[in-house]
Amino acid sequence: MRTSMIFVLSCLAQWSVAQEIPMFIGTYTHAGSQGIYLYMFNENSGEATMYSSTASEHPSFLARSVKGDMLYAVNETGDSTAALSSFTFDGDALSFVDAIPTEGSYPCHVAVSKHHPIAVVSNYGGGSLSVYRLEKNGGLAEKIQYIQQEGTGPNKERQEASHVHSAFFSPDEKHVYIQNLGTDKVTIYRIDKNNDNYSLAEESHISTPAGGGPRHLVFDEKGKNIYVLLEMTAKIAHYEKDGENWTLVDTVSINEDGFEGENGAAEIKCSADGKFIYASNRGEANTIALFAVDKSGKLERRKVYPTEGEGPRNFNISPDGRFLLVANQKTNNITVFERNRETGELKDTGKQIEVSTPVCIVF
């Protein structure tokens, strides 16, 4: 009997430990933040425990390797210190490996391929892309390509020049889609490989609604629909693939009907099952919207929730889909929502994680 009880308690202990997963938070370091914060997030309770911090200058956007043993961070500065940094993660702590300058100012996004040893950094201030080759162990080997984009848009204050905001690999990883807020364009680059040498080759582009400012996007699982978040109008532009071309199907607002305040749409993500899309809006809204995705790919806005903070930037869904966490940059807090996996609906848990200027959350 005693042996059985010990076995049960051991299993329960292992189960409890298994629910603690690492969660990384990227920040701006001008207001007291140390850099990158590691929390242990409990997928049962939604509680987060501060574990450690790693010094890094303005690590505003993070990406994790497929294996999970590497973390990459852009250092979003406007001078020669702007770089892509890499860190090893041994399950317990981050260790700095190296950094390579981006050659473009204010890098704000990094995308890491799941199948190719490459990473793409978007330089907002410089309006350019920096492409890196990765070592087999995930370290930064070298910068292999620098692509300068040009152009303007109708908004003279925000679109006076090229402002590359993000890069996303297509589901089949044959292309990279680049969002340029300054030019109202999504440029599609083909990934070319010659022996072990990689490069991006411009293939086509999508013109997004004028003055919208494309920021981030998500694909459906098969790559037949894309949803482009427009920062300045707080709308989602839905495109459907028609042969080799993309056709604009619809644009939908992420705001409640009647909202007339300042916009600043920031992040868009799709649930793992592809049934729901979420999008955050800063400005005077400070909200996150829930959309249902029907079988054709059409969006239906279901609800808009206050984020219980100001300046909601990036957000993320826990790996098991049970929680959604929103980084509120201006109020130094992360709001933890419980997520209904069947309906997509959110419920504020009342749990808040206090972090200085949080802007990115990665599991």
95-150 pLDDT, tens digit per residue, is 999 999 999 999 999 999 999 999 999 999 999 999 999 999 999 999 999 999 99
Q: Which one-letter amino acid corresponds to residue 40?
A: M
Query: In the predicted model, is pLDDT for residue 12 greater than 70?
Result: no
Question: What's the confidence (pLDDT) of residue 6?
Answer: 53
Tokens of 194: 């010659």
On whether the CB atoms of residues 32 and 54 are closer than 8 A, the answer is no
Residues contacting 180, CB < 8 A, separation 6+: 127, 149, 151, 162, 163, 164, 165, 186, 187, 214
Question: What's the confidence (pLDDT) of residue 165?
Answer: 98
Give the pLDDT confidence of 273-297 residue by residue, as tens digits.
999 999 999 999 999 999 999 999 9
Q: Quickly state the pLDDT bin for 20 (edges 50, 70, 90).
A: very high
Give the pLDDT confidence of 142-184 residue by residue, as tens digits.
999 999 999 999 999 999 999 999 999 999 999 999 999 999 9
Query: In the predicted model, is pLDDT for residue 2 greater than 60?
Result: no
Question: What's the confidence (pLDDT) of residue 130?
Answer: 98
On whether the CB atoms of residues 275 and 293 are closer than 8 A, the answer is yes
Question: What's the confidence (pLDDT) of residue 16?
Answer: 47
Question: What's the confidence (pLDDT) of residue 353?
Answer: 98
- Around 294, how many Cα atoms within 13 Å sit in the side-chain half-sphere? 6
Considering the domain boundaries, does residue 203 fall inside one?
yes
Count of domains observed in the chain: 1
* Cα–Cα distance measured from residue 208 to residue 363, given in angstroms and rounded to the nearest whole number: 31
CATH number at residue 75: 2.130.10.10
pTM: 0.93
Give the pLDDT confidence of 36-67 residue by residue, as tens digits.
999 999 999 999 999 999 999 999 999 999 99
Considering the domain boundaries, does residue 228 fall inside one?
no
Residue with tokens 């070592």: 135
Question: What's the confidence (pLDDT) of residue 7?
Answer: 47
- Domain of residue 120 covers 56-207
Tokens of 306: 């206050």
Considering the domain boundaries, does residue 32 fall inside one?
no
Give the pLDDT confidence of 72-98 residue by residue, as tens digits.
999 999 999 999 999 999 999 999 999
Considering the domain boundaries, does residue 126 fall inside one?
yes
Considering the domain boundaries, does residue 44 fall inside one?
no
Closest by CA position to 228, among listed 214, 244, 213, 241: 214
Alpha helices (H) along 210-355: none
Give the pLDDT confidence of 343-356 residue by residue, as tens digits.
999 999 999 999 99
Closest by CA position to 58, among listed 117, 125, 112, 113: 125
Considering the domain boundaries, does residue 123 fall inside one?
yes
